[in-house]
Each structure stands twice: as structure tokens, then as C-alpha cells.
Amino acid sequence: MAKYNENIYDSSVWITATPTPAAAELPFYAQEAGHFTAYTGYAVTRELHESFLLLYTVRGSGRLRAEGGETELRAGYGTVINCRHPHSYEAVTGEWEFYWIHFNGAGAASLHNALAAYGVRAAEVGDTAAFELLIRRIMDSMRINDVMNSLQISSDLHRLYLVLCRSAADAADAESRRAYSAMIDTVTDYIKDNYSKNITIDDMVRRAHLSKYHFIRIFKRVMGTTPYSYLTNYRINTAKRMLRLTDKPVAEIALDCGYTDTSNFISHFKKHVGMKPAQYRRDYI
């Protein structure tokens, strides 16, 4: 079920496209797109729409509610939502000029999951001229439904997604770092000073002064990996340096890097590097 109050000016543009079988197999393909100038009272409410939706504000502002969150879309900000969940958006005050693209594709869900990890938020677009150029090029390509234009649309949608993902990640990272930078530094310094010892998650949690769940979630958001993976990567990278710069036996290097079991070290090293320590030393010395 959907409700629309299409208070838009006649100059607004709306384009539809039906993907060919070849286009439907691409990572991204566009279904509909538009460049609207809406005025007070404009509103869209849907329970379900089989697509993802990119919204980007040129002028004015709109309000978006989707996936359990709410955000304001100010000029120069954009976002993507999964329309398979209830959602609504509306003009806030005065005129709201914005672009929108309904799209799908084999790569849409995975990239949306990456963006949705930061919550429903409007992402600031740094180079607005380049961003808007990509949107207009997609709309132009939708008018010519051939193979090359389908490939161009897929590529341009991917680029738009990456801009929004990078902006959302930078904003979330800055927020987390401001709030938790001292705690993260304490834990990473502890790892650097004690990686040769038996470090547990509980050891890190005690230094973070947070609950275990909260600590792991914040650490992963800021550092891009779990605390245990960070520790493992630090140990493996240290082992790489030792293999290249020293003549120490593999068993001794394993012990120096916190592995009491040499076979376990060799297994971890191969998993992360793609070869055993002895081969790494032979090939990279």
C-alpha cells in the first residue's frame, strides 16, 4: 500500500526504464529516476516497493523515515534506503529540489548493507557538482536502453554508492573517535606492548572500562575489525618483519609473537598470508 501527495512543479522530470535481461544481471540497473522540485505538502508513504532508492537534495530539505530511523536531507546530502521496508519522505518547508533513483541489481543489497551499518543517516557529498553530473548521466543513459548505456548506469550507480558509503563511514568514524579515541588508544597500545603474551578479550575489556559487547562493537566501528582480529593481524605483521629481518627459527618467532604452539602459528600465518612462514622467508627475504 502506498500514499502519494505529489505536490511537484510541472518542470519536474520523471523517467522510467525496463531493464533488458542482460541489464538485469549487472550489479546495478535503474528502474525509475527523477529530478523533482516539490513544495509544502509533498509526501510519499509506502509499505513496500521492490527496489532500493537513492535520494539526493539539491536545494531545500526533506525528511526521511526508513528502516527504524529518521534523518533530514539537506542540500548537498544523500542517502540510499531499502524500499522493501516501510518508509516515507516529505518536503520539510518551502521548496525541496531533489534527485531520486529507484534501482536494483546483484550488487545492490551487499553495498546497501555496508551503508546501512551506519544507521539511517544523510551522508554529505563533498563534490556536489560531480555527484549531480553522475545522476544526470544515469538519467540520460536510461533513455537509451542498450548494452553500453546499461553498463554505464551500473558503473555510475556504484560510484554514487561509494561516495555515500565513504561519507557515512567518515562521519561515523569521526563521531566514534571523538567519543572513544582515548579508550581505543589505550587498548591498541596495550596490544603493541603485550602481543607476545597471552592476551584475552577480557584483558582488553578491563582497560576499556566498557561492557564486553559495547567494547567489541565500538572497536569494530572505529578500527574496522574485531579486537581479536586486530591482535592477530598485529602478531602476523610482527612475524613478517622478524622472518625478513632476523635469522630466528620459526618456533622462536612464534613464541615471540604470542604463540606457544608452533603448528598453530604456522596455521594462522598461512591463513592470513597465503603461505607458510618458511616459504614467506624464502620468497621475500
- Could you tell me if 167 and 259 lie in one domain? no
Q: Are 38 and 96 in contact (CB under 8 A)?
A: yes
Average pLDDT across the chain, whole number? 89
CA torsion sign for 9, 11, 12, 18 is positive
Distance CA 158, CA 170 (A): 18
Q: How far apart are CA 156 and CA 264, in angstroms?
A: 45
- CB within 8 Å of 249: residues ≥ 6 apart: none
| Full DSSP string of 38-77 | E-TT-EEEES--SSEEEEEEEESEEEEEETTEEEEEETTE
126 and 16 together in one domain? yes
Q: Does residue 104 share a domain with residue 7? A: yes
Host domain of residue 32: 2-172
Q: Encode pLDDT of 1-54 as tens digits.
A: 455 567 898 899 999 999 889 899 999 999 999 999 998 889 999 998 899 999
Predicted model pTM: 0.63
pLDDT, tens only, 70-116? 989 999 999 888 999 999 999 997 899 999 999 999 888 888 777 77
User: What is d(CA 170, CA 125) in angstroms, rounded to the nearest whole number?
Assistant: 12
Question: Do 40 and 113 fall into the same domain?
Answer: yes
Cα 216 off chain centre by:
18
User: Which CATH number does the domain housing residue 83 bear?
Assistant: 2.60.120.280
Number of domains in the chain: 2
> What are the pLDDT digits (tens) for 108-162?
888 877 777 666 778 889 899 999 999 999 999 999 878 999 999 999 999 998 8
CATH code for the domain in which residue 201 is found = 1.10.10.60
Question: What span, in angstroms and rounded, lies between the C-alpha atoms of 194 and 45?
Answer: 55
